[in-house]
Amino acid sequence: MTGMLASVTSLDEARLAIEAGADVVDLKDPARGALGALEAWIAREIVTALGGKVTLSATVGDFPSMDVGEVLAAARRTADLGVDFVKVGFFGTPRDVECVRAFMSLTSETRLIAVQFADLAPDLDLCERLVEARFAGVMLDTARKEGPGLRGLLNQSQLSRFVRRAQALGLITGLAGKLRLADIAPLLDLGPDYIGFRGALCAQHQRSAGFDIQALRSVRVAIPARASNPLRRPRVSAGQMP
């Protein structure tokens, strides 16, 4: 079954997300980009209050140039916050593979989720590299929040191939990107481990606005509650890859 990920900007929003039944609380500042990093003091406040009570993930920030040193340093800072998962964006540059290799120094102690962007011609062959570097998972999102949503960029068949391939490799899989209520049922049919939301949970679907309680509840109702954690999937070694 598929879990619900709710991106939050504050402790108050995190508590609302938990009350609504979110499976994963994702710490992110949408005003800073697709994967904008939340201020460290706000993230620590959330981890201190809620760590161990719900699965927490956090984004490292947007680094479209994929400078290896910058991205790795940001990931280490994010991991030091004490979250369960660290989300790192891969922006479809020639440096993506180099960055994946560099993260091997971190994946022994940190569970990393790679984020690829449907509107930036994602290299789906990167999944094999992620397994070799011992990433925990991979997700598809959108980089340009003013543009089309995930399902306007990739059709059901393309999304299905992504989910099946990643899961066959033992990677946790997630789907996000300007999703609305109408997108949930088709995405549930694909069986990703989680579906991520921000704008759909906010007033007037504005991702920089605060949560709309009714919108939050509507999304939760549309995703059947699950008994197990959506971000738990056994690793597959490189030698076991199909």
Query: Catalytic positions, please?
Result: 28, 87
Query: Could you tell me which of 98, 108, 50 has the C-alpha nearest to residue 76?
Result: 108
Across 152-178, b (16+ Cβ under 10 Å) vs e yields ebbeeeebeebbebbbebbbbbbbbbb
Which DSSP helix (H) or strand (E) runs through 101? Answer: helix 96-102
- How many CA atoms within 13 Å lie on the side-chain side of 64? 9
CB 86 within 8 A of CB 103: no
Structure token pair of residue 23: 């499976």
d(CA 64, CA 84): 24
- How many CA atoms within 13 Å lie on the side-chain side of 69? 0
d(CA 20, CA 26): 14
d(CA 194, CA 73): 27
Between the alpha carbon of residue 9 and those of residues 13, 19, 97, 129, 211, the distances in Å are 7, 16, 30, 31, 10
